[in-house]
Structure 1
Amino acid sequence: MTDKIKKTEVLEKHIIGENGISYTLGEDGLYYPDIRLPEGTHYEIGRYGRMRGEYLKEHRRSLYMELLLSGKLNEYLYQTDEECHQMIKRLVEQMKTKQGVTEQMKSENQMQWVGMMNNIRHCAEEVVLRDIVYL
Structure 2
Amino acid sequence: MIELDYMEEADGTLRPLLEVKETILPLTKYGLMRKKFLEEQMSAVYLSLQVTDSLYRHCREVEARAQDMKERLKKDLREVSKPPETEDFMEMVAYQNGIDHQAEEMVLKEIVYSKEIPTITMTKE
TM-score by length of structure 1 reads 0.63
Supply the distance in 1 between the matched residues of 2:65 and 2:94 (Cα, whole angstroms). 26
Query: Which of 108, 112, 119 in structure 1 is aligned with 2:91?
Result: 112
1:43–1:74: 8 Å Cα contact kept in structure 2? no
1:71-86 alignment, distance < 5 Å: 71-86=53-68
- Over the residues paired in the alignment, what is the CA RMSD in angstroms? 1.9
1:48–1:84: 8 Å Cα contact kept in structure 2? yes
Residue 104 (structure 2) pairs with residue 125 (structure 1):
yes
Higher relative contact order (CA 8 A, sep 6+): 2
User: Which moves more between the two structures, 70-79 or 41-50?
Assistant: 41-50
Supply the distance in 2 between the matched residues of 1:68 and 1:40 (Cα, whole angstroms). 19
Q: Percent identity?
A: 29
Shift of 1:41: 7.2
> In the comparison of the two structures, how many residue pairs are matched?
94
Deviation track 1:23-75 (CA, whole Å, cap 9, x = no partner) reads: xxxxxxxxxxxxxxxx6373321111101001101111111111111111111
Supply the distance in 1 between the matched residues of 2:69 and 2:48 (Cα, whole angstroms). 26
Q: Indicate the residue corresponding to 1:66 in structure 2.
A: 48
- What is the letter of the counterpart of residue 77 of structure 1? C
The runs of 5 or more residues in structure 2 that have no matched partner are: 1-20, 115-125
Query: Which of 101, 104, 121 in structure 1 is aligned with 2:83?
Result: 101
The runs of 5 or more residues in structure 1 that have no matched partner are: 1-38
Distance verdict in 2 for CA 1:120–1:126, change over 3 Å: same
Supply the distance in 2 between the matched residues of 1:75 and 1:101 (Cα, whole angstroms). 38
Shift of 1:100: 1.1
Q: Indicate the residue corresponding to 2:72 in structure 1.
A: 90
TM-score by length of structure 2 reads 0.68
Supply the distance in 2 between the matched residues of 1:41 and 1:61 (Cα, whole angstroms). 27
